[in-house]
Amino acid sequence: MSLVADNLTRKELFLRACRGESVPRLPVWMMRQAGRYLPEYRAIRAERPFLEVCKTPDLAVEVSLQPFRRLGVDAVIVFSDILIPAEAMGLKLELGDAGPNLPEPVRTVADVDRLRIFDPEVETAFLNEAIRRIVKEVGPDVPVLGFAGAPFTLACYMIEGKTKEGFATVKSFMYHQPAAFERLLAQIARATIGYLKAQIAAGAAAVQLFDTWCGELTREDYERYALPAVKEIISRIAGEVPVIYYTKASNHLIPAVARSGADVLSVDWRVNLAELRKYIGPKLSLQGNLDPAILFGPAEKIRSATQELANSLGGRGHILNLGHGILQHTPVEHAQLFIETGQQIEFAQTPPVAISAEARL
Ligand code: CP3
């Protein structure tokens, strides 16, 4: 297995892929790679509540490193949750077995105005500490990723209070109180900028914004509400580290999503990456997008689907990943097979001459 190809470190592979350069092999990691499909994660969670793991750097570091040690993934994402900043902004947060619950959700303008722009060096210092310790553990050759929820997706949880029920409450808020909704997204964006900058200062080599629910919006509403808040965050981070923007079920939003300013667009399996590449051109890198359910299939299917996906962009501007988080009951050896298969595929380096010829066309 060419773990580090042509003497490039994992971090160099990852950053090259973010910049759209060709790589001898693709960097591979999985969204939600630290989680319940791993027995060693379940062992820690049997003893400690979810939020305690997030807020205790020793535990968060341990859990973040589990998929790196076991699967040899090419990036380590810090263990946390997109709802951590919601709590730091002043909302009560519970994360139990039934998923997230915010018992005092945002429903009025006054609720929006009560939200605090928190100091990430104080309120979420545990996260920065976890990143610093992970960076120390893995050394300079492995990229450590920070992340945050995108404002619309975070707003869904803040307004709905729990995992969505068709987004009726969120959309009702949006249509009845559009100014308050815009204000909420702007507040979340402001808080998120500081939150991500603190993660970068702690050593994050790239950051990912998770916009899991933006696909629920019409393109018009996405452009009016969700996109400006995402653009605001990215414009304030741009130039520091690469920004990866994950959107789900976003086929109808692609022309708008492509204008977010992100370096890397991460999409789910509903989108064909080669077609997306043709549509958006060479400037944006892509991340994804194996259907996580394929990891329940037979080994031969996992191998062929991974090979087909990895080859579809020819080794340029592609971070290999799933199209959404790994599912809870995924067999660990199937996750392993995905990672190994992806790492074994080698690409001939596009000579610089060919690049300039391309550029002249
Ligand atoms: O990728 C990683 O390994 C880092 C950790 C991470 C978690 N959540 C840990 C987690 C990341 C990047 C997230 C992001 C997140 N959290 C998203 C965006 C990505 C996505 O999956 O759509 C969303 C929407 C959330 C909100 C959230 N957190 C939900 C809906 C749930 C409950 C559902 C579930 O999967 O259990 C969580 C809890 C959560 N966050 C778990 C983990 C490992 C499971 C908690 C447990 O251990 O019991």
Question: Which pLDDT score, from 0 to 100, does residue 4 have?
Answer: 54
Would you state the pLDDT for residue 303? 98
Q: What is the pLDDT of residue 358?
A: 45
User: What single letter denotes the amino acid at residue 169?
Assistant: T
Q: Evaluate if residue 351 carries a pLDDT over 80.
A: no
Residue 221 has pLDDT above 80, yes or no: yes
**Ligand 1: distance of its center to the CA of 35 in Å?**
8
Q: How far is the CA of 26 from the centre of ligand 1 (A)?
A: 25
The whole-angstrom separation of Cα 81 and Cα 102 is: 14
**Which 3-state string (H, E, C) describes 131-173?**
HHHHHHHHCCCCCEEEEEECHHHHHHHHHHCECCCCCHHHHHH
- Distance from the CA of 314 to the center of ligand 1, in angstroms? 31
- Measured CA to CA, the distance from residue 220 to residue 170 in angstroms comes to 16
Closest residue to atom 33 of ligand 1, CA basis: 99
Burial class of residue 69, CB neighbours in 10 A (0-12, 13-18, 19+): exposed
Distance of CA 358 to the CA centre of its chain: 31
Q: Tokens for 52?
A: 């305690």
Model pTM score: 0.94
In the prediction, which pLDDT does 6 show? Answer: 66
Residue with CA closest to ligand 1 atom 18 = 210
DSSP 209: E
CA 120/CA 131 separation, integer angstroms: 13
Pocket of ligand 1 (CB under 6 A): 31-36, 45, 50, 77, 79-83, 95, 99-100, 147, 163, 210, 212, 325
Cite the active site residues. Answer: 32, 36, 45, 81, 157
**Confidence label for 356 from pLDDT (cuts 50, 70 and 90):** very low
239 C-alpha to center of ligand 1: Å?
28
Distance 99 CA to ligand 1 centre (A): 9
Per-residue pLDDT at 23 exceeds 90: yes
What would the pLDDT profile of 280-321 be if each residue is shown by its tens digit? 999 999 999 999 999 999 999 999 999 999 999 999 999 999
Residue 189 sits at the vertex; the CA angle it makes with 241 and 112, to the nearest 5 degrees, is 160
Distances (CA, A) of 244 to 74, 260, 288, 293: 15, 10, 11, 23
**DSSP class of residue 223?**
I
Q: In 28-146, which residue ranges form alpha helices assigned H by DSSP? A: 39-47, 50-55, 57-71, 84-88, 109-114, 125-138
Residue scoring higher pLDDT (345 or 99) = 345
Separation between Cα atoms, residue 174 and residue 160, nearest integer Å: 12
Comparing CA positions, the residue from 63, 95, 97, 68 lying closest to residue 79 is 63
Q: Region 211-237: what's the mean pLDDT? A: 98
pLDDT for 96 equals 84
* Displacement of CA 39 from its chain's centroid (Å): 23
Beta bridge partners of 146: 207
- CB neighbour class for 239 (10 Å; exposed up to 12, middle 13-18, buried from 19): exposed
Domains contained in the chain, CATH given: 10-359 (3.20.20.210)
* Residue 129: band (very low, low, confident or very high) from pLDDT cuts 50, 70, 90: very high
Q: Could you identify the atom of ligand 1 that is nearest to the CA of residue 78?
A: 4
Classified as helix, coil or strand, 16 is: helix
Ligand 1, atom 47: closest residue by C-alpha: 50
pLDDT at 359: 43
Quote the pLDDT of residue 349: 78
Nearest alpha carbon, ligand 1 atom 21: 325
Atom of ligand 1 lying closest to residue 45 CA: 47
Write the pLDDT tens digit of every residue in 39-49. Answer: 999 999 999 99
